[in-house]
Amino acid sequence: PLVCPLVCFELPQMMRSKKHQSKRRRRAHMKSETYVLLEPGKNEEFVSEEELKIRLKGWLESWPGEELPPDLAGFKTIDDAVSHLVRSVCELEIDGEVGSIQWYQVQVE
């Protein structure tokens, strides 16, 4: 079972016009530390929770512009923002022409 809806593992359309926001999707409780990660310009890949956190932190540390989106800027540290994203969100829109990063928790059997 998947936490967030995932119709297929094809990379979705990455160019979006929305700026500075992370999408909120309710997540069911699942005991899995494996995620499918979709990044702009890359194929989907299975990653551990720790690898997902490392990748998200990299995106936040190199965020285009001077500050993070308002919903992430309120956290004391980037690590806190990353933990929030992994725990509560499945998609992060990147400013400019980059697109979005999506991750879906999966149960590997």
Is 60 among the domain residues?
A: yes
Residues spanned by the domain of 95: 35-106
Q: Global pTM?
A: 0.70
pLDDT, position 97? 75
What strand order describes the sheet that includes 45-48?
Answer: 22-24, 89-94, 99-106, 34-38, 45-48
Closest CA to 11 of 109, 99, 106: 99
Closest CA to 38 of 84, 103, 108, 105: 103
Is 16 among the domain residues?
A: no
Is 2 among the domain residues?
A: no
Is 18 among the domain residues?
A: no
Are the CB atoms for 67 and 73 separated by under 8 Å?
A: yes
CATH number (domain holding residue 94) = 3.90.940.40
Q: Which residues contact 9 (CB under 8 A, 6 or more apart)?
A: 36, 44
Is 40 among the domain residues?
A: yes
Structure tokens at 58: 């990299």
Is 42 among the domain residues?
A: yes
Specify the number of domains making up the chain: 1
Per run of 10 residues, the mean pLDDT along the chain (length 109 residues) is 35 37 46 87 94 95 85 93 94 83 87
